[in-house]
Structure formats: structure tokens, C-alpha cells
Amino acid sequence: MTAGDRPGRFITIEGGEGAGKSTQIALLTARLQAAGLGVVRTREPGGSPGAEAIRHLVVTGAGDRWDGITEALLMFAARRDHLRATVWPALDRGDWVVSDRFADSSMAYQGHARGLGPEKIAALYDWSIGDFRPDLTLILDIPVEIGLDRARARAGDEQRFEGLDLDFHRRIADGFKAIATAEPDRCRVIDGSGGVEATAGLVWTAVAQRFDLGR
């Protein structure tokens, strides 16, 4: 089942650290709202009170605070609460949901970069979520070094993943590429290296084409 089986639509935006997801989600949300659609903007980990509490555990502290298995379990616990409390009710109301990350991040970060393998992440997905899938996933692609420099320059205490080494982040990028190759009907890779406005144009084109919204 995709979100298309519910009245609303579910769009997820993925990418490595510093890829520009938050900026593009804000622009996409505004454009969808201008088209007269009800839109819920959310994020993972987080997006519900329970999931936000788990977020603090996952994205703060030392890089070795959790191993890959613990990370994956925490992420899916947060994801289940996020879906139950926020995403599914919004889709059932007929709203569109735009999420900063979803389960593809678990596949890229824990499955590929942490080395758990796709089978374990897929098993967690099947058990905790079932056959629900996003209607469209946009993967923002920029050079890993540029994104990591951007992310590390941000203020705040949510720097746990940013503190991990460059090879870890290269494995994340490879993971997202593998996901896009495996699921071309759901995923679109967006070149994020051309600046905010150029990237926003590519994002809107992908969304408009998928949902027949016009230009």
C-alpha cells in the first residue's frame, strides 16, 4: 500500500547531511499550499511528541553513543510513533505530508553506512510499518564533502552524525544511490549542486509531473 491508497499524498525528501533538505521542504510546502492543498510539514526522527523525545537520544552525543543495531531500533520506534500520531491521520484527512527523511534514511545510514545490510532494515520496516510506502521520494544529491562542511558549520547540539568520518558519509551517499536504482518508480534523484532556486525548480518539476499538478 502506498499513501496513494489514502486521500492524501506522502512525499519524502532524503539526502546526506547538508544536502539542503530543510530549505527545499520549506519551498515545496509553500508552493503546494499556494496551489490550494492542505500540507503537513514534518521530519524524522521526530514529527510527534514521542518521536521528538527519541530524536534527542539519536542525534545528540558522541558518534559511538549507539551501535548500528540500537540506532536502527530507535529510528523505527520513532518512525512508528510518527506515522501513528502524525502522518497517517493527516493522510486520512486528505492532507499532503512532506517529510524531511523517512525510512530510506535508515536504509542508507544503518543499512549501508553502519553495515547492518538491507535485509535487516527491510525486516524492521515490514514488521513495524507493513506495506505502506511514500508516493514519491526525492533524493537531494550534492558532493559529500560540500554537504558535510555545510552541516558541520551549523550551530546546535544535533551534530552526532556530522561528527562521523568522511568514509561513513560516502557510504550514506552510496546507499541513497542504491535505493534510487532499486526503486526508480518511487525515487527521483535531484541534483542539488546548482543553488537553491535551481534545485527548487527541479523539485517542483518532479512533484508536478508525478501528481499532474501542472507547472
- The residue behind cell 542539488 is 192
* Bridge partners for 189 per DSSP: 139
* 210 has pLDDT over 70: yes
Lowest average pLDDT, out of 58-62, 122-126, 181-185, goes to 58-62
Around Cβ 146, how many Cβ atoms within 10 Å? 14
- pTM of this prediction? 0.94
Taking all residues of the chain, what is their mean pLDDT, rounded to a whole number?
A: 94
Q: What pLDDT was estimated at residue 1?
A: 52
What digits encode the pLDDT tens for the residues 146-168? 988 888 888 678 889 988 999 99
Phi-psi region of 132 (alpha: psi -120 to 50; beta: other; left: phi over 0): beta
Q: What pLDDT was estimated at residue 22?
A: 93
- State whether the Cα torsion 80-104-9-196 is positive or negative: positive
Phi-psi region of 32 (alpha: psi -120 to 50; beta: other; left: phi over 0): alpha
Domains of the chain: 3-211 (3.40.50.300)
Please answer whether residues 134 and 186 qualify as being in contact, where contact means their C-beta atoms are separated by less than 8 angstroms: yes
List the end-to-end C-alpha distance of the chain, in Å, as a whole number: 28
DSSP 159-172: -TTTTS-HHHHHHH
